[in-house]
Structure 1
Amino acid sequence: MLFTYKVILPNGKLFQQTLKAKDEEEVATVLRSKNLQILSIRKIRQQQSIFAKGVSNFEKANFCRYFSVMIKSGLSLSEALDIISSETENKTFKSILQDLQFEIQQGGSISDTLSKYPQVFDEVFLALVKAGEHSGSLEKTFYYLSEQLYASHRLTKKIQGAMMYPAVILIAMLGMGIGMMLFVLPKLSETFMKMKIEMPPMTKAVFAFGTFVGKNVMPVSFVLLSVIVIIVFLFTFYQTRRAIGSFLVNLPILSKLFRQMDWARFARTLATLLQSGVPVIESLNISAQVLTQNDMKKVASNFEKELEKGKTIAEVLGKGKKAFPSLMIQTIKTGEKTGTLDSILLDVALFYENELEDMLKELSSMLEPIIMLVLGIAVGAMVLIILAPVYSILGDLQGPGGAAGR
């Protein structure tokens, strides 16, 4: 639980801050141990919701950049965190930064405090911070982290941008389909079913469905809404997103795309860890966590064992049957020989990020005509099914009775 407290400092100044603790008694004990005069302690009511706003990579990147600059300028960690938290609008992140500030004031470490929030800070982030604390280079560590997070944010935005047009078209198609099913089809069904005319089986089935929907608009609407709510609700759980993601990344049509993404993220993560002084074996094990393809994960599971045998990173990556591309392996081999592995890995990451961007553009340009073709076929099928009885009526009117009238 989070508490806010007001105390009088030994110098007579009023001080207000927040603290994470089990109860008010624990807060009071901590404050008394620092010889502070307590004025008030109040529990902060936090709304618990599955839809509560998380912390984006962009927000974390901004924090790392500002924190690095402030440390470089000579501000203490506590002062820097106080300034950043006061400017942070995200309540979740503000609470974390305030907790971090208090723990630092109590003599705690940044990595230990942030490890309490695994849903926000992954192992890569924590390992880099821990390495920076041990080496006394937090300024550089947070700068590297900001670059890593900004790169991840840009990559995510490129993917979202490429998929935006197809997603909008699909949502529009779905919306129009539901609107037609609930409001248009029932009226057409009622009109044509009353005419007692002979209709093709498909048309009869569609109109029978339309009649059913027309008589049960509220129940059908409730079922549709419930399905949408359940799908959205399931996607709020990490396990659901992970299961769907694991299925999608291994689909043949998407596998090549995700392979490029894996190579780029693996190279950038490994480069950032090595630049920050994290040991090679630990860096490889942490970097392996960004991999999604099964064959790459299999190679990664043997990283530690193979390196302990004295093999190089290039040799270990080359053990997999084309899990990692030969271009990447040869480039890493060169970096190991020349002692420039970290900078070489950044070049590799940039290369595959550009390749991924080109693939996304190609995929988007391919999806547009396919979606339009599917949309045209769907509209054409509905027109034929619904217009068939109209032509049947016109044919009847122009039959023997119609001819006699002339």
Structure 2
Amino acid sequence: MKFKYWARTKEGRIQTGIIEASSKEVAVGVLKSNQLYVTGIESTEAAPIWARQIKLFERVSATDLVMFSRQLSVMFTSGVPLSEALTAIAEQIKKAKFKEKILELAQTVEGGSTFSKALSRFPELFSDFYVSVVKAGEVSGTMGKSLVYLADHLEREYNLRSRLKGAMIYPALVVVATIGVFVLMTVFIMPQLIAVLEGSKVEPPAITKVAIGLSYFMRNWWWVGLILVTALAAGGWRYSKTLEGKAVFDNLYLKIPGVGGFLKKLYLARFAENLSTLISGGLPISQALEVSGRIVGNNVYQKIIFEARDRVTKGESITAVFASYPGFFTSLFCQMSLVGEKTGHIDKTVMTIANFYEEEINRTTENLVNILEPILILVLGGMVGLLMAAVVIPLYQISAGGL
């Protein structure tokens, strides 16, 4: 069998290669006898189909990236050389693909490349934001500080996403339950009612006629509904991926009552934190605006931020640009931005804004769950009540007629 290995020499250099041996243990033993410290080894032969499937769906999660960044920042600020820190972290990583890429990073850095250039080889793992902060740290000589900023930023972003996802679990369960009740009533219960009504002379009320129509559609034409829903969802998704579609949907989301206000706070918090992290990492404000604009996540905000970038390069005030869009940048944001410009500490003032809006988002998320719970229960109860009424009323009429 052939194995691909990663190892360190006595001099501390990273070495990779292929070795042939009867087993992985034998291969490691041979490498050790050659005075190589093995940091990773895997078979190069084709794995069984089930193993390949597991590896195919193995992906690097946000948690993996947060842990990697935190460990790297701690080790680097403690004085461990970058290539050694990367190798040590790779040894603890269980996911083969992620481990391989970190070892490649270590090897590239060991070969004389800058860390930012090595990171840019893996855009699927490390975003423009990540690479830009590292590059700024390299240029300004504050690499350790930049890595700490990155670790803090990724951790905050991960925690925020986790809270938002957690807040949506209960509403999602209620929606699924509602759909389940609807299908149960229309597919299994209504046909029995129809059979009873056909044997009587009672004229069913309007609500029952609607329920019977829905039941007929669900039992005989369900595939048409499925095709329509799938086609609309697929078409909407594909359109949203185009430049025009993304612009339309991004603008539409911000106009939805209630949801729009929440999203604006979310984008302001994200932009403020990204901008603060980039400036604190040593990036000029024009470049910081460029990078934070690309990753803000909304086309409307991106255009405004890019306009600010262009006007800042001409010597204009960044606050003046934001103030000209009161529907998207609050007066608080503009006031804090102005204070930052006047004091020369815009990175600190916008981070204050980011912290404020993050707390607002947390409160809104908690309130949203508390508000949605009774609303969804009422909706579910109302729907079940209407369907029950559609069943009970004609049965009562039949019973009364029999009397």
Instruction: Give the partner amino acid of 1:149.
Output: L
Aligned partners of 1:220, 1:129: CA distance in 2, in Å? 54
Instruction: Give the partner amino acid of 1:126.
Output: V
Q: What is the match of residue 401 of structure 2?
A: 396
CA shift at 1:343, angstroms?
1.8
Q: CA RMSD in A?
A: 4.0
Bigger Cα displacement from structure 2, 297-306 vs 345-354: 297-306
Structure 2 unpaired stretches of 5+: 19-35
Q: What is the match of residue 5 of structure 1?
A: 4
- Whether contact under 8 Å (1:4, 1:16) holds in the other structure is no
2:248 aligned with 1:239: no
Distance 1:202 1:316, change over 3 A: closer
Instruction: Give the partner amino acid of 2:241.
Output: Q
Post-superposition Cα deviations, 1:361-406, rounded to whole Å, max 9, x if no partner, equal 33333222322222222112101111122112101210xxxxxxxx
CA shift at 1:191, angstroms?
4.5
Aligned partners of 1:317, 1:174: CA distance in 2, in Å? 44
Secondary structure of residue in 2 paired with 1:310? coil
Secondary structure of residue in 2 paired with 1:5? strand
Q: What is the match of residue 256 of structure 1?
A: 261
Q: Which runs of 4+ in 1 moved over 4 A?
A: 6-13, 15-19, 43-51, 194-197, 211-214, 219-238, 242-245, 292-295
2:311 aligned with 1:306: yes
| Number of residue pairs matched by the alignment | 373
Instruction: Give the partner amino acid of 1:5.
Output: K
Post-superposition Cα deviations, 1:103-126, rounded to whole Å, max 9, x if no partner, equal 223333332232233333221111
2:356 aligned with 1:357: no
CA shift at 1:75, angstroms?
2.6
Q: What is the match of residue 95 of structure 1?
A: 100
Bigger Cα displacement from structure 2, 388-397 vs 363-372: 363-372
2:82 aligned with 1:77: yes
Q: How does 1:100-115 map to 2 (within 5 A)?
A: 100-115=105-120
Identical positions, percent: 29
Distance 1:238 1:89, change over 3 A: farther
- Whether contact under 8 Å (1:259, 1:293) holds in the other structure is no
Distance 1:97 1:369, change over 3 A: same
Q: How does 1:75-224 map to 2 (within 5 A)?
A: 75-195=80-200, 197-207=202-212, 209-210=214-215, 220=222
2:370 aligned with 1:371: no
Bigger Cα displacement from structure 2, 202-211 vs 144-153: 202-211
Secondary structure of residue in 1 paired with 2:241? helix
Aligned partners of 1:141, 1:344: CA distance in 2, in Å? 18
CA shift at 1:315, angstroms?
2.7
- Whether contact under 8 Å (1:129, 1:141) holds in the other structure is yes
Distance 1:272 1:238, change over 3 A: farther
Aligned partners of 1:50, 1:383: CA distance in 2, in Å? 49
Instruction: Give the partner amino acid of 2:371.
Output: M
Aligned partners of 1:324, 1:220: CA distance in 2, in Å? 46
Secondary structure of residue in 1 paired with 2:123? coil
Q: What is the match of residue 328 of structure 1?
A: 333
- Whether contact under 8 Å (2:87, 2:103) holds in the other structure is yes
Secondary structure of residue in 2 paired with 1:251? coil
CA shift at 1:341, angstroms?
2.1
Distance 1:48 1:250, change over 3 A: farther
- Whether contact under 8 Å (2:190, 2:391) holds in the other structure is no
2:44 aligned with 1:42: yes
The TM-score, its normalising length taken from structure 1, stands at 0.77
CA shift at 1:4, angstroms?
5.8
The TM-score, its normalising length taken from structure 2, stands at 0.77
